Structures are given as structure tokens and as C-alpha cells.
Amino acid sequence: MRDFEPVGIVSLGCPKNIVDSERLLGKLLSNKFHITFDLEEAHSVIINTCAFLKEARDEAESVIAEFLDKKEKGFIKKVIVSGCYPSLAKDKLLEKFPQIDAITGTNNLFEITEALNGKERTFVSEQFERKFAPRFPITLPHYEYLKISDGCNHSCAFCLIPKIKGKLHSFDMEFLVNEAERLVESGVKEIILIAQDTTQYGLDIYGKNKLLTLIEALEKIKNLYWIRILYTYPSEINEELVQYIASSSKVVPYIDLPIQHISDRILKRMNRTHSRSETERIIRMLKDYNIAIRTTVITGFPGETREDFEELKSFIKDVRFEHLGAFAFSKEKGTESYFMDGEVDINERIERKGEIEVLQAKINAEKLKGMVGKTLPVIVDYYDDNTGFYIGRTHFDAPEIDDYALISGDVEEGQIYNALVKGSDSEKLIVEVTK
């Protein structure tokens, strides 16, 4: 079948959803559908949703309502909703938005063509999809995300992911290496490893952790320059992995390590398997090897007292993370924390989040100022007409979520250079590339 009516996509949520959106587009292209990135000319629109938090579901519902309104007015013909929201609550979604033409879950990417063709209305399976569509990249051309697994074996009390995506299911290593090779052949220079928990990669299909083996295989790819690791779980970090990162010529000295809290009492209530002492040991090890750390914390988890919160603040002040994101606890139905006692008032949760953000902004500004005068590798992302500078990142920064650099000099997008840091503020560096 050939369908020349343009199909557009709206990708919501995290980088893992970006990969799924690229697979959706790849599947459509392989079936001769016409893709457009101008949603004004789309006849059908796919909305790939996130459902991790109420805030994400609210965003998804707002976007769904927007395009259903366009459908009612005759501007588009079909609205397909995909991803996490259908997997979490397909019945609720269809009841709230009966005008949706079809829904496809996180394990049903391969059935997007059937959804668009109207063969069925609901494609939501709990069985992990083992068929893989080619990807049509939608990020900048020089970096890409490599989703090495999905689902999660952990049982964090605040998290809906196991309910949405099930237990850990890793992708075959040969498939991942082949996909990375194809991405690099297309011009990608930085591969960013993602999963719900990258440090448990391979446990389900190989019987043991194979993250390091995968990284070793990826390092052999010619013309791949940077490998970055996101979404690790603290208790799974070991010295072998840390030493490898520190000594590698391709794995950047950076790790994403969501600690969520530091109070042993709150960590236990969260069902986290790491303690304060273990977290401190891991962080000391990472800092000894000069590896930049990104982390996330949750404020106002049920039972968090002011004393617990002050312990967290003090810890952040002492550790001085390179990057930190703070989130006010979100009460999610379907999680263990939904019924917990000790609920913290929503305004207090938000206020505590703000206190963390103010503290981290101060730390960030001081850390960036301390880089002035140093020479660091930077990757050039794009040219910004408003500032008159190229925008890029050091090897200590992941795209979209971390700091950035204003780059001057004779440079090209997608290239990596050594650059002298000339100045800074609370969120960016000013660097100059000299050849």
C-alpha cells in the first residue's frame, strides 16, 4: 500500500520516547507513508506520549485535545495516540477522548501502520516487542540516543515505569552495535546510552550485567568519538565500570546517577536499594576519577520531615554535583507511595524543590566560573542567530538537560574541538576555538 497523505508526529517526554518516535517514523517510511514535519500539512498526526507523572499526562491530554479539535474542524483526518499513556490507561484514555482513531502502546510500535490504516482501534500488548523498525532520526545529526533496554526490575515506591513497561527487557547486543554503526555512518559522532536503568543491561537475556561488554563493542566503531551514559542506578555502579570510563578515549567522563534522596529513612520508604554510606562511597569514587555527575532528587516524598530535607540540602552543598535536577513528589495512583502516610503538603513540596534549585544554581555558577582559563573539548550543536554564536557543549554536558557553551572561532556544526574557556555565568560557558 502507498499512502501519500502526510503523517506528522508529536514526540513528548524523555529521550527514550525520542527513540520510539524515530522507530515509528522508520516503520512508516519503510511502508511508503509520506512523513511531514510541518504539522499544518499533516493529514494524520501521531502523538507519542509520556505518562510517568501527572504533569506529563496533563501535557499529553492537552496535545490530544488540541489535535482532536483540529480533526473536528476538518484540518486533519486521523489522530493516533501512542506510547506510555495507552500502555498505562488505555480504557481511561479512550473513554476521555472517544474521537481518537487508534492507540498503540510502548510494545506495539511495529503496528503503527495497521493503526493508521484503521484495521483495529487498540494495539496495546504487555508482551515485549522483539521486531525492530529502522529509525528515522529527529535529533541533531551528530548525536543520537541508543536505547539499550526498556522496562525495569526495581520497585521504587514513587515510579510507574514497571506498571507501564513491565520488567527489564534488554535489546540484543548485536542489534545495538549494528544500529550504532548505522547511526555513525549517517554522521553521528556522539552516542548516548539510555534505558530505565542502563546498569542492568543484559541481565534478562545474558544472565549477568553486560553494560561494559556493550561499551567495549561500541568503542570499536570507527568515527564514533563520544559515548555518554545516562540513567544508571547507584547500587549497580562498580569500580570496574568507573575505571573504564576514566581510562576510555571515547566514553566521556560523565555519568547520570539519580540518587533521589540521601536520608536513609526516606531511601528505605522509597524502596531504593542504596544507603547514604553506599551513595557517598560511589560519589567519592567517581570524583576520585574526575567524572562529572548528573543527579536527580525528589522533594516532599511522604514522610520527609524538615530534618530529612535539610540533610539532603546539606549533602548537595557538600558534594557539589556538576548537574542536578529537583522534582517535587508527584502522587501517582498505581504506585506504592500513593497510599503512604506522612503526605507533605503540595506547596511545601514545591517550596523545597525551589530551595534545592536555588542552592544548585549557586553551585553551578561557581563550578562554571572555576573552568575559566581551562581548555576543554566541545561539540558544536548549532548556530544561534540571536546571540551570533555557535551553541555547543563540553564533554561534561549532555544535550538538552545540562549546561551549554557559546562558541566563537572558525567552527562547523557537528565537529569536536578543543576550546579555551574565556568566561561563564550560571548556566553557560563562553569559549573560543583556536586552530
Contacting residues for 247 by C-beta, under 8 A, at least 6 apart: none
Torsion of CA 263, 268, 272, 275, to 10 degrees: 50
CATH class given for the domain over 143-369: alpha beta
The pLDDT tens digits of the residues spanning 263-283 come to: 999 999 999 999 999 999 999
CB 307 within 8 A of CB 314: no
- Overall average pLDDT of the 59-72 stretch: 95
Looking at the chain, which residues constitute the CATH 2.40.50.140 domain(s)?
Answer: 375-433
Residue type, 173: M
Position 141, amino acid? P
270 and 260 in contact (C-beta within 8 Å)?
Answer: yes
Under CATH, what is the fold of the domain 375-433? OB fold (Dihydrolipoamide Acetyltransferase, E2P) (2.40.50)
CA dihedral 297→312→396→366, nearest 10 degrees, is 130
* pLDDT at 132 exceeding the cut of 80: no
423 forms beta bridges with 430
pLDDT, residue 4, reads: 59
* Helix residue ranges, H only, 303-422: 306-319, 346-369
Q: What is the pLDDT, as a whole number, of residue 126? A: 82
Name 344's bridge partners.
none
Q: Give the pLDDT mean for 134-159.
A: 93
Output the 3-class SS for 270-295: CCCCCCHHHHHHHHHHHHHCCCEEEE
**Per-residue pLDDT tens for 176-228?**
999 999 999 999 999 999 999 999 999 999 999 999 999 999 999 999 999 99
Name the H helices within 102-200: 112-116, 161-165, 173-185
Q: Where in the chain is the domain with CATH 3.40.50.12160?
A: 3-123
What value does the mean pLDDT take over residues 149-154? 93
The CATH topology of domain 3-123 is: Rossmann fold (3.40.50)
Residues 159 and 233: their CA atoms lie apart, in Å, by: 14
> Which residues make up the CATH 3.80.30.20 domain(s) of the chain?
143-369
- Residue 112: the pLDDT is 92
Lowest average pLDDT, out of 105-114, 248-257, 365-374, goes to 105-114
**pLDDT over threshold 60, residue 337:** yes
285-336 pLDDT per residue, tens: 999 999 999 999 999 999 999 999 999 999 999 999 999 999 999 999 999 9
| pLDDT tens figures, 97-125 | 999 999 999 988 889 999 999 888 998 88
Those residues with Cβ within 8 angstroms of residue 408's Cβ, 6 or more apart along the chain or in another chain: 389, 390, 430, 431, 432, 433
Q: Is the pLDDT of residue 2 over 50?
A: no
